[in-house]
Amino acid sequence: MVSSYPQSNLIASQYQQQLLANQRRIASLAYQNAQQQRLAAMQGEADVQAYRLARAEAKRAARAERIAARLREQGRSEDAYTLASVNVDNAMPRR
């Protein structure tokens, strides 16, 4: 009687190798997908930050114009006042 055990062992080994290769492919695709999602999130945050900064600057300019108009209505000399804008560096510690 001829045993089929070595043949079964070979098939099991091939199956295990194929299974490991598939698991590696899946892990690689999952990593690539996560990396793409991280990059997309970072780009989205950069876009939102640019929008927020532009909006804040527009609000600041509008407020400065309202103050200047109020000073003109009151007859005060604009030369006596200086409207300033302060740019706060993100690297500076907040208190």
pLDDT by residue for the chain (95 residues), tens only, comes to 555 566 888 888 999 999 999 999 999 999 999 999 999 999 999 999 999 999 999 999 999 999 989 988 888 765 655 656 566 566 555 55
Cα–Cα distance, 79 to 76 (Å, whole number): 9
For the chain, how many residues are written? 95
Q: Are 46 and 56 in contact (CB under 8 A)?
A: no
